Amino acid sequence: MTNYFQEEHYPEKLTKDLQGHFSNIITGLGEDVSREGIEKTPLRAAKAMQFLTSGYHQDPAEILKGAMFAEDYHDMVVVKDIELYSLCEHHMLPFFGKAHIAYIPNGHIVGLSKLPRVVDVFARRLQVQERLTHNILECINDTLKPTGVAVVIEAAHMCMMMRGVQKQNSVTTTSGFRGQFEKIETRNEFLKLISSDLA
């Protein structure tokens, strides 16, 4: 039997400062921060928030550059159903869903795992879905310099589901297209591929 252990490293001073802030918030809301179930919550929240915003300290372009390979391939590459989790910058509540990415190489391809990593870097910042879509699109376009890039994100927003209008079944879709994907036939091929289940 193996024991589960995940090692995390966070700056000590920042973690302590955040822990104090979360402790004050919890107390201000009327909860007893010394209660057994909440006693360690300020520290856990401090670490969680640093993880959820760790994208500020990562360079997505460098991630792509580290896995670019010269290749004479000029057809569409699609990675779909990339899970994403982010925090809405307006309420700091989660939004989550899937990203679909396609690009048409222009002399270079990139390791497929790097595209989800780029999504994670931008998602782990305070975001709005529109900017997240744009960030991913422009990073791939500027770094790989392909003949075309497409990004579609479908996400549910807890700020709409838990508060405000409280619409539990709403999904927001955003998209961006560059180069060859601005042509309707190429765009339609991409949209058809991400909406179909290929066996």
139-173 confidence digits (pLDDT tens):
999 999 999 999 999 999 999 888 876 667 789 99
- The answer on 190 and 140 residing in a single domain is yes
Of 50, 127, 139, 157, catalytic: 157
Whether residues 121 and 73 share a domain: the answer is yes
What are the backbone angles phi and psi of residue 29, rounded to the nearest 5°?
-80, -10
2 within domain boundaries? no
Clarify whether 129 is annotated catalytic.
yes
User: Does 39 lie in the same domain as 70?
Assistant: no
Active-site residue, 91 included: yes
Q: Is 134 domain-assigned?
A: yes
- Concerning whether 50 is annotated as a catalytic residue, the answer is no
159 labelled catalytic: yes
Distances from the Cα of 47 to the Cα of 19, 33, 131, 136, 174, angstroms: 8, 17, 25, 26, 30
Which of 88, 100, 139, 180 is flagged as catalytic?
Answer: 88
Mean of the per-residue pLDDT values of the chain: 94
Total domains in the fold of the chain: 2
Interval 5-26 mean pLDDT: 90
Task: Specify whether 48 is located in the same domain as 64.
Answer: no
Is residue 67, in this structure, part of any structural domain at all? yes
Q: Do 36 and 112 fall within a single domain?
A: no
Instruction: Write down the catalytic residue from 50, 127, 129, 180.
Output: 129
Flag whether 6 is in a domain.
Answer: no
Whether 44 and 81 share a structural domain: no
Q: Please, which residues have CB within 8 angstroms of residue 117's CB and are 6 or more apart in sequence? A: 60, 63
Does some domain include residue 191? yes
Q: Is 58 a catalytic residue?
A: no
Q: 32 with 125, same domain?
A: no
Q: Which residue range forms the structural domain that includes residue 178?
A: 60-195
- The one catalytic residue among 21, 91, 108, 134: 91
pTM: 0.91
